[in-house]
Structure 1
Amino acid sequence: MRNPAPLVLTLALAVAALVLILRKPDEASPAAATSPPPAEQTPDPGAAAPEDSTQEALPPSPWPHEVSDIPADPAIVFGKLGNGMRYVILPNAEPPERVSVRLHIGAGSLMEADDQQGLAHFLEHMVFNGTEHFKAGELVPRMQRLGIAFGAHVNAFTSFDQTVYSLDLPDLSDSTLDLAFNVMRDFADGAQLATDEIDKERGVILAEMNSRDSIGYRILKKQFKALLPDSLIARRFPIGEEEIIRGAPRERFVDFYQNYYVPSRMTFVVVGAIDPAAMRKRIESAFGGMTGPEDPGADPQLGDYTPPATQEPLVFTDAELPATSLGLTCIKPYEDRIDNRENRADLMRLSLAHSMLGRRFDRIAEGAESPIVEGSASRQQLFRAVTVGSVDVTVTDGRLDEAVVVLENEFRRAKEHGFTEAELAEAKANILNYYQQQVANRDSRRSDELSSMIVTAINERDVLSSPETDLEVLQGFLGDITPKDCHSAFLDFWKDTHPRLVMTAKEAPADVAKTLSARFAEAAAMPVEPPVEMEVKAFAYTDFGTAGTVAEREDVKDLGVTRLTLSNGVTVNLKPTDYDKNRISLMARIGHGRLLMDKDKVGLAEFATAVVNEGGIGEHSAEELRRILAGRNVGTGFSVGDGHFSLAGTTTPDDLQLQLQLMAAQVLHPGTREEAISQFRRTVPMLFQQLKHNPDGAMQDMFAWLHGDDPRFEFPDSPDKVLSLRAEDIDSWLARDFTPGRIELNVVGDFELEKTIPLVLATFGALPDRPAAGRDRLSDPVQSVDFPTPPQEKDYTYSSRIERALSLVIWKVPGPRGNEEQFRRFNLLADIVADRLREEVREKLGASYSPGAGAGGSRELEDFGFLMAQSTGKPGDTQALTDASRRIAAELAAKGATEDELTRAKTPMLADLEKSLRDNSYWLQSVLNGSTDDPHRLELARSRIDDVRSITLAEINELAKRYLTQDNTITVTILPEP
């Protein structure tokens, strides 16, 4: 199992962790495709930090590209208003007729005074609660009526050094653009900050503070304080302090807003299908009249970053931590580097070194008796204040002494002996491929992803260069980098750092620091041998025998889908698209999945998923495959569904043949190697530790109960039951239902149809014969489970001192299988319930930060569907949360929704449906997947938008009246144990 949990909580991971902590729960994270894979992803340019360790007071001027030998993307329009506000405009075609806007403010929690801790984030909430153009409570409904959903399309986040507001617009109409620019201008300087609205929002902030609380977060704060004891960073976590949240007077909000929400700290970003000249005029009109104070707020004195002189290991313990981690961490002065070719080359050499060291930990972790589960190496710069280096491993339970040796020896092996040609070749191939793919995919980049990427670059003071320029710069130095260069970069970074050993663990003896020091010294006295050059084998699966033929072909022209039945019984659905350049998504749907799983092998689905994904294929281990496939866009993910197995992957036109070969080989020879089983078993204690101390464990038990406690849908209640599973259990199951099972192969993306069919025939078409296609399995009795009969109440507990409880109210409804049209209406009804929960539970009661509702069910199981309302809050508030959900349902059942509520739910849904038409994952997952068994899925794709438009209030209210009743209600409470 790869990366079973976020186990390593070191300072080097602080930035990423805190973004997750502070971001709204339903905001999409920036796409991974916007950042290259190594730890040191991009240089950290910016103005030099003054010697007194303060940050520069204002954003850099000129733009970073104006002081660099790397040019900016010529498609980007840069500008600056007379008041100092900057803007970035980028025309972009995907999705069509859409635009994304971002307002970046170079101010966050670091700018707060002692009596303002948490107010930067609090302000982010307050701009939604009454501004110059929108009274309190008006903004969200106004946006919904235009198709802008709160959370999904409008959101914000606050970090240590920035606040960002996001709007993704569903169209380019004047009304939508007018609202967007009015909203963003109001966020910038039009917030009313009414005292009564501040007081109402205090509960929401406290509820968010509760929802964000975790053992990992608490440990992270302790690590900051220990490693940066004299730094303001350790005392300015963005969520703030409860006492200040409860009592800060209005004038402290106003002070921060007026002093830091100033034009000179703002950058406005517009990306989409727009005319730059028209956007420039709108920006000038909307923001040109802004003014700032004569003496705006300056950046703070961030304090001393000199690490303590002691080298004694730091030990952090908490009984709820999932695992033990060890890290070597160094704190270095911030290095001011402009983003130019020389510095990109310097940072790349170190990045490659850290990547190669991380891969060594990967190989060690794959050993059958390895003392570590995973490992990594990285360098990060925090807020242009300090540079952090970290080498980390997650420890196999009970193997601490050996893990210390692995950590010390591998770190020292890299220092003493450097890296091999084969290691470097693999790392280079992967990074070069990444940049090449950015160029190939340029025209397919999504505006929302691009706008978020631009904001990140602005905050990091990176040059906004084009993918072509990035590749050209990389190619200018990558080929010349040698193992010796990477070794030198590694030594230069880590020299004279005296890295400190940091340990986090569930428990540790009182003298563990002394023991760690002694063990580390013993390890340091051991000789380490140079790394051995690794052989890269040839891929063994290029010939599957006689290619199959096409037995039947149907061209569904209005959907652009070609459906094939091959001579061996495999069915194939092919949809070429042109809106995701150089990317192809594949999914093979195989056999029956959980439905034919042995009921006496509880947990076998999870065990098989982990082992097969790390077990390689017949002739190649997973580690061999990583070396063989370095620099190629090839890979598979194995999963077990309710009624099928799945093999999925994403590739490019150049690598499509290899991707099909890999998938076909995995069908015939799924790997269940002992090293993969050993890896999984080493994660089991961590997994159960997480389930024990996290409400997710109770949620898992609840969903098993909703499946009638059918063993196929349960997870074992003890580690011993999981550890008793063997390779032969997987082999037996796959041998009867996966390797010989019926196959539906779906391919969507940028490919040429007639060139692709022969590749499919030579791989999947050459497999042994399959069962007949299109067999109707609707009447198969194993496809049913016993949903609990309402009304019922159920309580679950988990063990934690974090005071977080969940209220879940569930209504049984018909499932989506063969019932998709009605289920769309349940989704709309759920959206209306969710919006009422937002108004009642979040805005009025302030008892839950992010209450919500949704319709869920299974396309595989017969009549398995439900509508669920969920609220997270304090244990003492669960009854109030449950009562609110039940009351909202009862009111809807008795009185129905309003036409305005239906409009505010339907309009954003229609906007998302229109957008999904240019999304490969929609066609793959929602249309083609399973269409062999259920050809009606194609008709659903044709009619869904018109169907949603046709939904009437009477239909929604009839469903509410029929299903949101007291006698159809199941109430579940999840509480931490006393």
Structure 2
Amino acid sequence: NTRPEKRVMLQLAVKAGSVDETEQQQGLAHFLEHMAFNGSKNFEPGELIKTLESSGARMGPHVNAYTAFDETVYQFQVPTDKEGIVGRGLQALADVGSNLTLDPKEIDKERGVVVEEWRGGLGAGTRLRDQQIPVLYHGSKYAERLPIGKPDVLKAFTPATLREFYTRWYRPDRMALVVVGDIDPAAIEAQIKTMFGVMQKPATPAPVRSYDVPLHSELLVAVATDPEATQSSVSVLRKRTRESEGTVADYRRSLAEQAVYQMLNERFDELSRKKDARFLGAGAYEQALSPSIIGFALAAGVQEGKIAEGLSALVVETNRVQQFGFGPAELDRAKKWWLASYERAYTERDKTESQTYAQEYVAHFLQGEPAPGIAYEYRLAQTLIPSITAAEVGSVAKELFADTARVVIATAPKKEGVEVPTEAQLRDTITKADAVAVTAWSDAASAGALMETPPEPAAVTDRREIPRLSVTVVRFANGLEAWLKPTDFQNDEILYTMAAVGGASLAPKDKFVEALLAPALVQVSGIGGHSAVDLQKLLAGKLARANAAIALSTHQISGSARPGDLETGLQLLHLSFTKPGNDDQAFANILKQLDALYANREQNPGLLFGERVGQVNTGNNYTAEPVTRERLAKLDRDAMVRLYKERFTNAADFTFLMVGAFKLDEALPLLARYVGSLPSTGTRTSKAADVGLKFPSAVEKVTVQKGREPKVTTVMSFFADPPQEPGEITQVASATDVLELALRDILREELGETYTVGVGFSQEAQQRGGGHISVSFTAAPENLEKMSGRVMQEIERMKKEGPSEDLVNRAKESARREHETGMKQNGYWISRLQAATLLGHDPVAHVLGREARIAAVTAASLKAAFGKYFPTDRHTVVTLVPEK
């Protein structure tokens, strides 16, 4: 598979997870995953990561692994055009299977890293989860075997205990190797036989799991609360045995189940928009609990104190389906969506990413999910979907909604003045909801067309080519330029966007929030005289979208479409510009949603910390002012409407970009009609206003005291505001990449005192004065000073000595490979062209010059960049510490 070109996915799936651990091994399945990168027969500790990074693979996106209850999966994406690297990747996975060193010294070094990973996960979410898991996995070993394990075990286990788990569960009859990519299968197969064929199958039979998630007749209820929880929700889950998926009849049933989810979610969306809605939003989905047990789940987000109402609404709607099923119009829309989805997947069958195939094969091995290929599935879908009946779907729904093995989970903030229902009250709520008389769902059909009278096409006043980019630029009579790049990167994808500078910077300071939220009002109100609900119905089976956005210094309308739905997509864009909705109930819904979102912001340590970092690094600029519940209650609807129309009023301010699977001669008439006809003054006038961002001029240190857990999070930021010119930005970005690699080696690999460290560059386009580079990490409180000192020490070393050639080469190769892959992706092209047009850069140099700019990065140039962009006399340190 050649998507992406010159890359191969290597995955090793092992049927060994946390549920296989003994009491004394809790957390060791995950710990073993870490040790796979810390020494084996053919790789010294740390060598594997450096080897893969030297080829351009990046830790995280391309080199990773995960451990779950039932499995551990190792995932590498490596280049195929660098000699020997595929073989090294295969050898590493073969070593994982049977030749890990598990050196006691390396184990002791990694203990701190894994404990810090545990520490980083602490918070309200974890505490709520710990209240829910015993009920969700009632009566099973799963309830006692969360993959992260227990810190006491992680700190004290012996190397022999880890090796015991390794030798018992890591064996060839519990493993599968998956290889997908731009390779010669015969050559790869020969390598696999050489490296994996020597693995010995143990003489003892493979251990058999004798545990699962049991079904139960009684209703189980959990009410989870926490002082730092910020929102309320309720869910109902019905456990059931995973159905066989091996026959055409099984496949037909799964299609009917998917239709149930689709139609129920459509109803939930419509209900959430009503004046008397009893939930903020709700959804139906499938949740896997174990390889053999899955759950049909319904979940609703609710306002504070409204958990019982939300639960009642979920039960009433499932009862409505049980009694009356779904209507023919609903089923027809669901069929259109699913047929369109299958058609797209089939059309893209030769442009599917290797990662997608690899995940499908891993699921086939681990869960037994069929993998017949999209060509076969598409033929089945075309045959089966049209013949699925409402009665058939209704019958499947009744089975899904059965009242056996049910679990209800409620989640809410624990605070004064908010009443949270008890388990008994929730049981009573279900009993009362079951007694509510229901009527059949009223499905109001959406009448008319998306656009009753399409606009007249505009004339093309200018046309030019940019041959090196294969881009055609046309100017319409309204002054708008359209940059068009047909590609064959995907068969069924067209991306488009029209963007202008200005954004929320042009709004009055006291209406800044209104400007940012204005597109949300349009999105929930609808466009072109159609409500959001009507639009969903009108667009059934159409894979096209367009959404407006207003950022600090830019505003745009972006979307995507299949080639056959391009006209629909451009109509949506046109209507978003010319006929935005402004609905009373939509505004009320926004207020309700935002109130629920921000009602408990004061209890959220992470949110308060992030807000404080933003305030400090902008000099308390008004754009970083925290959004509070009180501020949102004063939202000025008229200002939102006015500010939206002010931004989207003059088409000449915008540059339209389109990249994807289209033909110029077919697309130009559509663009002339729907883009060239947009209203305009004929002259570009919009410019971003200077909002006055001001990074502190000296050293500033701030401590935020919030939270209950024994952890600290620090963000150290250094003033870095380079000219917005590609060459200089590349040097700054490379410096951040190099520093992140260096600090990972020091703080994680050498000291073992953090799980991850991040380094990032932030600069608002069209603004000056606030650019900065930030270093962030989480650690134990007692290690904060030492780690902060090591960060400063490493930065000073970079200034004096510059980075090593190894660090420079790893960072450069990663950036080069990212660019290489991106040049075959529509999204990459449209983002690069948009950056060039908004910043006024030469587009050829901006896009095609990137590889040369990366090549120009040297240890000497980065030493200079560190000296320029890491001023020790102008930086900030913001630290989140637990409350005393």
Question: Which TM-score applies when normalising by structure 2?
Answer: 0.95
Distance 1:816 1:586, change over 3 A: farther
Deviation of 1:757 (Å): 1.2
> What CA distance in whole angstroms lies between the structure 2 residues aligned with 1:626 and 1:801?
44
- Tell me which moved more, 458-467 or 577-586: 458-467
> What CA distance in whole angstroms lies between the structure 1 residues aligned with 2:743 and 2:14?
31
Aligned to 1:764: 675
> What CA distance in whole angstroms lies between the structure 2 residues aligned with 1:786 and 1:706?
7
Please say if 1:161 is aligned against 2:55: no
> What CA distance in whole angstroms lies between the structure 2 residues aligned with 1:154 and 1:750?
31
Aligned to 1:80: none
Per the alignment, in what secondary structure is the counterpart of residue 491 of structure 1?
Answer: helix
Please say if 1:271 is aligned against 2:180: yes
CA contact (8 A) 1:607 1:680 kept: no
Please say if 1:114 is aligned against 2:23: yes
1:196-227 alpha-carbon deviations (Å, 9 max, x no partner)? 11011000001111122332333233322124
Aligned to 1:68: none
> What CA distance in whole angstroms lies between the structure 2 residues aligned with 1:782 and 1:509?
47
Please say if 1:852 is aligned against 2:758: yes
Map 1:266-305 to 2 at 5 A. 266-295=175-204, 297-302=206-211, 305=214
Please say if 1:643 is aligned against 2:553: yes
Aligned to 2:451: 541
Distance 1:816 1:465, change over 3 A: farther
CA contact (8 A) 1:701 1:714 kept: no
CA contact (8 A) 1:928 1:937 kept: no
Per the alignment, in what secondary structure is the counterpart of residue 2 of structure 2?
Answer: coil
> What CA distance in whole angstroms lies between the structure 2 residues aligned with 1:645 and 1:328?
40
Aligned to 1:11: none
Please say if 1:422 is aligned against 2:333: no
Map 1:338-349 to 2 at 5 A. 338-349=245-256
Please say if 1:175 is aligned against 2:106: no
Per the alignment, in what secondary structure is the counterpart of residue 618 of structure 1?
Answer: coil
Aligned to 1:523: 433
> What CA distance in whole angstroms lies between the structure 2 residues aligned with 1:804 and 1:938?
48
> What CA distance in whole angstroms lies between the structure 1 residues aligned with 2:603 and 2:463?
52
Aligned to 1:714: 625
Q: Which residue, 316, 323, 329 being the options, matches 2:237?
A: 329
Aligned to 2:576: 666
1:144-172 alpha-carbon deviations (Å, 9 max, x no partner)? 22222222321111111111111111233
> What CA distance in whole angstroms lies between the structure 1 residues aligned with 2:546 and 2:225?
37
Q: Which residue, 202, 219, 223 being the options, matches 1:315?
A: 223
> What CA distance in whole angstroms lies between the structure 2 residues aligned with 1:934 and 1:663?
24
Distance 1:690 1:865, change over 3 A: same
Per the alignment, in what secondary structure is the counterpart of residue 495 of structure 2?
Answer: strand
CA contact (8 A) 2:238 2:400 kept: no
Deviation of 1:683 (Å): 2.3
Distance 1:318 1:350, change over 3 A: same
Per the alignment, in what secondary structure is the counterpart of residue 423 of structure 2?
Answer: helix
Q: Which residue, 189, 192, 196 being the options, matches 2:98?
A: 189
Q: Which residue, 694, 697, 712 being the options, matches 1:786?
A: 694
Aligned to 1:616: 526
- Tell me which moved more, 871-880 or 563-572: 871-880
Per the alignment, in what secondary structure is the counterpart of residue 64 of structure 2?
Answer: strand
Gaps of 5+ in 1: 1-91
Please say if 1:124 is aligned against 2:33: yes
Please say if 1:440 is aligned against 2:347: yes
Distance 1:648 1:542, change over 3 A: farther
> What CA distance in whole angstroms lies between the structure 1 residues aligned with 2:332 and 2:670?
29
> What CA distance in whole angstroms lies between the structure 2 residues aligned with 1:757 and 1:816?
37
Distance 1:304 1:938, change over 3 A: closer
CA contact (8 A) 1:131 1:191 kept: yes
Deviation of 1:781 (Å): 5.3
The aligned amino acid for 1:787 is F
Distance 1:427 1:322, change over 3 A: farther
CA contact (8 A) 1:153 1:168 kept: yes
The aligned amino acid for 1:747 is M
Gaps of 5+ in 2: none
> What CA distance in whole angstroms lies between the structure 2 residues aligned with 1:790 and 1:542?
61
1:539-559 alpha-carbon deviations (Å, 9 max, x no partner)? 332544321111221200111
The aligned amino acid for 1:752 is K
- Tell me which moved more, 435-444 or 731-740: 731-740
Aligned to 1:744: 655
> What CA distance in whole angstroms lies between the structure 2 residues aligned with 1:265 and 1:950?
48
1:757-813 alpha-carbon deviations (Å, 9 max, x no partner)? 11111011111224524x795xx6526522222322223344x32334211111111
CA contact (8 A) 2:308 2:421 kept: no
> What CA distance in whole angstroms lies between the structure 1 residues aligned with 2:710 and 2:661?
49
Per the alignment, in what secondary structure is the counterpart of residue 510 of structure 2?
Answer: coil
Please say if 1:927 is aligned against 2:833: yes
- Tell me which moved more, 296-305 or 665-674: 296-305
Please say if 1:237 is aligned against 2:129: no
> What CA distance in whole angstroms lies between the structure 2 residues aligned with 1:948 and 1:257?
42
Distance 1:498 1:970, change over 3 A: closer
CA contact (8 A) 2:714 2:880 kept: yes
Distance 1:824 1:137, change over 3 A: same
Map 1:70-149 to 2 at 5 A. 92-149=1-58
CA contact (8 A) 1:544 1:766 kept: no
Q: Which residue, 496, 499, 503 being the options, matches 2:406?
A: 499
Please say if 1:728 is aligned against 2:634: no
Distance 1:114 1:690, change over 3 A: farther
The aligned amino acid for 2:670 is L
Distance 1:217 1:307, change over 3 A: farther
Distance 1:356 1:892, change over 3 A: same
> What CA distance in whole angstroms lies between the structure 1 residues aligned with 2:97 and 2:220?
47
Please say if 1:868 is aligned against 2:774: yes
Distance 1:380 1:791, change over 3 A: closer
1:35-77 alpha-carbon deviations (Å, 9 max, x no partner)? xxxxxxxxxxxxxxxxxxxxxxxxxxxxxxxxxxxxxxxxxxx
1:392-441 alpha-carbon deviations (Å, 9 max, x no partner)? 22212343443343222212111111111111112111111111110111
Map 1:221-232 to 2 at 5 A. 221-232=130-141
Aligned to 2:462: 552
Aligned to 2:819: 913
What is the RMSD computed on CA atoms of the aligned residues?
2.2
> What CA distance in whole angstroms lies between the structure 2 residues aligned with 1:441 and 1:751?
14
Deviation of 1:142 (Å): 2.2
> What CA distance in whole angstroms lies between the structure 2 residues aligned with 1:500 and 1:256?
33
> What CA distance in whole angstroms lies between the structure 2 residues aligned with 1:355 and 1:905?
44
> What CA distance in whole angstroms lies between the structure 2 residues aligned with 1:925 and 1:304?
46
> What CA distance in whole angstroms lies between the structure 2 residues aligned with 1:912 and 1:551?
38
- Tell me which moved more, 413-422 or 180-189: 180-189
> What CA distance in whole angstroms lies between the structure 2 residues aligned with 1:559 and 1:488?
55
- Report the count of equivalent residues: 879
Please say if 1:479 is aligned against 2:386: yes
Q: Which residue, 130, 146, 160 being the options, matches 1:251?
A: 160
The aligned amino acid for 1:714 is E
> What CA distance in whole angstroms lies between the structure 2 residues aligned with 1:299 and 1:549?
72
Distance 1:239 1:287, change over 3 A: same
Deviation of 1:863 (Å): 5.0
Aligned to 1:942: 848
Deviation of 1:509 (Å): 5.0
Aligned to 2:740: 834
Aligned to 2:586: 676
The aligned amino acid for 1:652 is R
Deviation of 1:635 (Å): 1.2
Deviation of 1:977 (Å): 3.0
Per the alignment, in what secondary structure is the counterpart of residue 271 of structure 1?
Answer: strand
CA contact (8 A) 2:213 2:289 kept: no
Distance 1:486 1:567, change over 3 A: same
Distance 1:617 1:214, change over 3 A: same
Aligned to 1:76: none
1:88-111 alpha-carbon deviations (Å, 9 max, x no partner)? xxxx12222221111111211111
Question: Which TM-score applies when normalising by structure 1?
Answer: 0.86
Per the alignment, in what secondary structure is the counterpart of residue 788 of structure 2?
Answer: helix
> What CA distance in whole angstroms lies between the structure 2 residues aligned with 1:660 and 1:315?
47
> What CA distance in whole angstroms lies between the structure 2 residues aligned with 1:768 and 1:303?
63
CA contact (8 A) 1:672 1:730 kept: no
